[in-house]
Amino acid sequence: MANQPAIIAEGLRKRYGTTQALDGLDLRAEAGTVLGVLGPNGAGKTTAVRILTTLLKPDAGYARVAGLDVVKDADALRSQIGLAGQYAAVDENLTGYENVEMVGRLYHLSGSAARRRADELLQRFDLVDAARRTVKTYSGGMRRRLDLAASLVMTPPVLFLDEPTTGLDPRSRLGMWEVISKLVSDGTTVLLTTQYLEEADQLANHIIVVNFGRVIAEGTADELKTQVGGDRVEMTVGPGSDITRATEILRPYSVGEMAVAAERRHLIVPVAAGAQQLAAIIREMDAAGIAIDDIALRRPTLDDVFLSLTGATTDAADLTTAPAERPLAGSPR
């Protein structure tokens, strides 16, 4: 089992009525890594998590988690996985302690083991002070931490986190990231879905971008960024500067299309070899007497990746549906 991927899925399909939630999804996570599943709302991320955690049966395709088939070995698999969801599935009329203890009992721990685990986990997630309060009184961040604590009662080798920070304030989000990173350093395999590109960038070793139930791109965060384009220099020149002259100076450096917003005195130039070019540009501008208000070398963010990828897919979908409609409109009697 050592060389087997902790999570593997091939050709997963799932349809709800007329919606094809998953349309041949493939994914793979090696043991001890974090797989980031990135996609907009409705892309099929949650459906994929539901299938991988045995909550839903796929219409087609197959998946194994921790070496167990998600359909045939569903019962055995449930003791190998933890699931923490975007809706923080904890009982708000129970205390934090009661929630974790109950989950321990439902994993069939003895009463004393369940109580001990509840104590340990609440301590680990900084919830000791709130342990005896009902969850109703918890903040969003505390609920997520409790939800995560409950999913870790059995120290599962594979953990599924479905949008763990959706709706959290920035500070709580950072707190969750810290918690998740530490879990991973303990050797847990994590599948993390998110709409936040920054989150995937921060946490995931490997990222798949999902849209319309299919993987539309994958790789490391860096690979995905390179796929969209390389570095670029963004520059704002001082008031009254000669924009035309600045544009001429920049043109030889450009490896693609330049963007010039004259009224904002803003220029964006795609460049090949980042840092050296930046120094050269500054020297030339200086020699030409053009004042620079602001200049920066920017790598594309995952947001750029995401927008360019999902935008492209939407266009492609429009193109494929159009011909199908044509025969209807123009069909001869």
Partner 1 sequence: MNIAAPGHGNSTKPIIRPRIYWEIADALTLAKRNLVQIPRIPEELIFSTIQPVMFVLLFRYVFGGAITGTGTTYVNYLMAGIFAQTVIFGSTTTGIGLATDLQKGLIDRFRSLPMAKSAVLTGRTLSDVVRNTFVVIVMWTVGLLVGFRPQGSILAWFGAAGLLLLTSFAFSWISATIGMAVRSVEAAQSAGFIWLFPLTFASSAFVPTQSMPTWLRAFADRQPVTIVVNAVRGLLLNKIDATTIWEAVAWCVGILIVFIPLSVRAYNSRTAR
Chain contacts with partner 1 (rule: CB under 8 A): 46, 50, 53-56, 75, 78-79, 81, 83, 85, 87-94, 98, 102-110, 113, 116-117, 120, 123-126, 134, 150, 153-155, 175, 178-179, 182-183, 186-187
Q: Are strands 34-38 and 206-211 parallel, antiparallel or unpaired?
A: parallel
Cβ neighbours of residue 329 closer than 8 Å, sequence gap 6 or more: none
* Residue (153 or 269) nearer to partner 1, CB: 153
**Min separation Cβ 194 and partner 1, Å:** 17
Query: Which candidate, 5, 9, 7, 6, places its Cα nearest to that of 58?
Result: 9
* Residue (83 or 246) nearer to partner 1, CB: 83
**Min separation Cβ 310 and partner 1, Å:** 22
* Residue (47 or 241) nearer to partner 1, CB: 47
* Residue (84 or 246) nearer to partner 1, CB: 84
CA–CA separation, 10 and 71 (whole Å):
13
**Min separation Cβ 159 and partner 1, Å:** 11
Q: Roughly what angle, to the nearest 10 degrees, separates helices 111-124 and 96-106?
A: 130
* Residue (158 or 246) nearer to partner 1, CB: 158
Q: Helices (DSSP H) in 4-89: which residue ranges?
A: 45-52, 74-77
In the numeric block, which tokens belong to residue 241?
């500067």
Radius of gyration of the chain (CA): 25
DSSP 8-class letter at 33: -
Would you say 11 and 55 are in contact if contact means Cβ atoms under 8 Å apart? no
